[in-house]
Homo-oligomer: A and B are copies of this chain.
């Protein structure tokens, strides 16, 4: 039996493709960026299933150059290139709030390198803040196994007043950010930090 999507396309994501994907993730074991991202994706899935928030990772933007149609139903992309993303990786909606965030990771133990934040992502965060979005970054210190929520306005303030400094000290992140303690499910319970941040913001008003 062939399973089909609502539009009639057959489901091809099984068997061989799945095995290939698993092999790929084994190869990428050293790539800890993928694993933090995975933990966040699982958390989003948990939150979605429990009707807590609707947040999805945006697909990687790709420039397609050549597509083959060996069969009527299946298009195979034969030549394509990765494009630079013009936004952050995650966005969605939480109790009427627009959430927008980026997940970043470092092996450093004492500070978070600014080079992780691209200029266009900072610009996107500014644009979203102007529209009263709730924007932040999730920072993962993989060696320390510690995770922090840092709101984008605070990040931008430090980023634009860095005076030649190449990274943001952990001590500042501990002071200005909100620590997130990983759990079984959701793995990265970032909504707790969002709640705390919204509470603090309301108190300030």
Q: Which residues of A contact B (CB under 8 A)?
A: 5-9, 12-13, 17, 20, 48, 51, 53-54, 56, 58-63, 65, 74-84, 86-87, 91-98, 100, 118-120, 123-124, 127-128, 130-133
Contact = CB atoms under 8 A, between A and B. Distances in A.
Contacts of A65: 17, 20
A124 B51 CA distance: 11
A132 B54 CA distance: 11
A93 B6 contact: no
Nearest to A56: B87
Interface centre among A56, A59, A98, A128, by most B CB within 10 Å? A98
A96 B17 contact: no
Contact of A98 (B8, B56, B93): B93
B133 A8 contact: no
A9 B26 CA distance: 29
Given A62-B60, A93-B131, A130-B51, A118 B81 contact: no
A124 to B, nearest CB: 7
